Structure 1
Amino acid sequence: MNAIRFGYKASNEQFAPRELLSYGVLAEECGFDSVFVSDHLQPWRHEGGHAPFAMTWLAALGARTERVTIGTSVLTPTFRYHPAIVAQAFATLGCLFPGRVVLGMGSGESMNEVPLGLVWPDGKERFARFREAVRLIRALWAGERVTFEGDFYRTDKATIYDRPDEPVPLWLAASGPAATRFAGRAGDGYITTSGKDPALYTDTLLPAVTEGAEKAGRQVADLEMMIEVKVSFDHDRDAAMAATHFWGALGLTPEQKQGVEDPVEMQRLADALSVEQTAKRFIVSTDPDEHVQKIKTYLDLGFNHLVFHAPGPDQAKFLKLYGEEILPRLRVL
């Protein structure tokens, strides 16, 4: 059984690279166990949005920290990057920061690929590309002069020359049953997000990841079960609610977001929501004990790596409050 760990989601869609780096360093100082960053070409809103390159930023974070696990939550290895380039990049990170790097991967967001002139295929093709990318990355990390003939990717006697002694763990993100079964079967860990219908976790996702693990001759206890927990904790209730405004896109329904690749349009849709609507995906609290009890729901479901995403502009305040009032209570559990 993996130990329970608590991480910080570094929101590169919200903060410029240097500022965000200072928060990643502060997270380690405040007692967080990990720092994860998204890989986005486009942010969720145009005004005030940012999109630094995740792999460069992770290298800087690794050099400025000593202890925390660092990784992507999540990167898409199927369109902007050839999977072999992702394999090379994370092998290098693994050499620089041994035992501290995780490659978190998902099947992608259209808003990151369509602006580059790429055609966004249907879910079936995206999933097929994702599965093939996982196979190729693992093959490159395991062998030399790898010739790979896939439906989407090919290599001809390719070698990753600089690799860590132990392969970088692959944690696979999924929100549907088929992809979640695949994550349980092929991943070293599973990634999902909080704030959805509780039945989705209990009736669909957790049974699917269990089924996938069992097909690979493993148990869920062998996996790192990570969930991004969206939280807004402040002693001032109004401030905690208002902080969710920047991330209003999370309050949009899948139907509202479908086909939207432009941050300007995404921002327009999100800003039309009330604060009550933008706060729905977040655990909004002013009382530490109440806050911890709500978070405990995800521990009780079996997740063992909780990465906290706070939406407010004052991330230093959040990190210090969490380090002083929330993490100690969670560790008692």
Structure 2
Amino acid sequence: MSAPLIGYFLSCEEYGVDELLEQAVLAEEAGFEALWISDHYHPWNDEQGESAFVWSMIGALSRVTRLPVTTAVTCPTVRIHPAVIAQAAATSHVLLEGRFRLGIGTGEALNEHILGDAWPPEKVRLEMLEEAVEVMRELWKGEAVQHHGTHYTVENARIYTRRDDPPPVYVSAFGPRAAEVACRIGDGLITMSPEGEVVDAFRRDGAGKPLAAGFKVAWADSEDEGAGHAHRLWPNAGLPGELAQVLPSPQHFAQASTLVTEESIRESTVCGPDVDRHVAAFRPYLEAGFDEVYVANMGPHYKAMIQAYGDKVLPALKS
């Protein structure tokens, strides 16, 4: 197995802006090779307590790190028009000197319904995503764009601040229909699982495009402490099915998450300081041939986590 690129996942929902910038600097110093950053209007629950505007954060990141940055993920369809996302992505690509990638997905009602728009069914959301990518790629050519589509209208729009090479578009997919769209329009796939029908479909039909995945750990002095942080902050990770796409507020997520036990979090998440367990968490992604794997920390001990990864986990993965 060849080692994939190992990156660090910045969680805008849990950490404040100064903490996010500190994590980016520490991650680069520790040997992480790239960054993911989440794009949310709300946190998943009030306990997480943060939600910085991702485009401001990317501008700040461009001044403190040389690592590539990918949004994981932006929804370019409802809350913000794809013509505006196209400009934001083009500027980010300039700021990062070509090291920016736009990760996109169909989004969640949690973030996208805030202006009173109806939350469309999955089929319509995928149609909107595909048309949004068409609009953005036309704008990234640098010419004036006129577009009158099913979901979007663009008139006399031109992006001036841009690079000749447009940012790659990685598509997040969580079902067979989404996987089909990702194969067709994406430059790569973003997923949170090392296996399943989405990964199988992209590997079969994705024409060798990169596979990228992310997961979370909870570094702490003990497994019990780590499991407590993970259950307190991220119980929503244990919600099944489409709940993550349809629940409309952090309060609804908090209510649904009462069904998720700390024991189930402990079983599915690496908690505590056992380096061997942290190394082993990457093994399914390596065995599945992923090109990029990103890891996020849950809880207050991100400095210790990043240092331990730099000292022990990353060298073990690269050996």
The question of a shared fold, defined as TM-score above 0.5 by the shorter chain, is answered with yes
Letter in 2 for 1:103: L
- Residues 86-130 of structure 1 show CA distances to partners (whole Å, capped at 9, x for unaligned) of 111111111121121111000000110223312101111101000
Q: Which has the higher contact order (CA 8 A, sep 6+)?
A: 2
Aligned to 1:167: 166
Aligned to 2:279: 292
Contact 1:235–1:287 under 8 Å retained in 2: no
Contact 1:7–1:308 under 8 Å retained in 2: yes
User: Please, which of 193, 200, 218 is the counterpart of residue 207 of structure 1?
Assistant: 200
Letter in 2 for 1:242: G
What's the CA shift for 1:262?
1.7
For residues 140 and 281 of structure 1, the distance between their equivalents in structure 2, rounded to whole angstroms, comes to 42
For residues 77 and 175 of structure 2, the distance between their equivalents in structure 1, rounded to whole angstroms, comes to 18
Aligned to 2:148: 149
Aligned length: 317
Aligned to 2:216: 230
| Structure 2: runs of 5 or more not aligned | none
Aligned to 2:34: 34
- Residues 233-272 of structure 1 show CA distances to partners (whole Å, capped at 9, x for unaligned) of 4452212222212101111223665742121231233245
* C-alpha spacing 1:276/1:35, structure 2 compared with 1 (3 Å): same
What's the CA shift for 1:78?
0.2
| Structure 1: runs of 5 or more not aligned | 214-218
126-135 or 159-168, which moves further after superposition?
159-168
For residues 109 and 267 of structure 2, the distance between their equivalents in structure 1, rounded to whole angstroms, comes to 24
What's the CA shift for 1:288?
2.2
- What SS is found at the alignment partner of 1:253? coil
What's the CA shift for 1:47?
3.5
- Residues 2-30 of structure 1 show CA distances to partners (whole Å, capped at 9, x for unaligned) of 97211111111011112222112211111
* C-alpha spacing 1:211/1:30, structure 2 compared with 1 (3 Å): same
- What SS is found at the alignment partner of 1:142? coil
- What SS is found at the alignment partner of 2:114? helix
Contact 2:68–2:96 under 8 Å retained in 1: no
Contact 1:251–1:279 under 8 Å retained in 2: no
Contact 1:144–1:157 under 8 Å retained in 2: no
For residues 185 and 212 of structure 1, the distance between their equivalents in structure 2, rounded to whole angstroms, comes to 8
1:241-256 equivalences under 5 Å are: 241-245=227-231, 246-254=233-241
Percent identical: 36
For residues 210 and 242 of structure 2, the distance between their equivalents in structure 1, rounded to whole angstroms, comes to 31
Kindly report the root-mean-square deviation, in angstroms, between the aligned alpha carbons of the 2 structures.
2.0
* C-alpha spacing 1:58/1:183, structure 2 compared with 1 (3 Å): same
- What SS is found at the alignment partner of 2:27? helix
1:111-122 equivalences under 5 Å are: 111-122=110-121
Contact 2:170–2:190 under 8 Å retained in 1: yes
TM-score, normalization by structure 1: 0.89
Letter in 1 for 2:265: T
Aligned to 2:82: 83
- What SS is found at the alignment partner of 1:306? strand
Letter in 2 for 1:54: V
Letter in 2 for 1:62: S
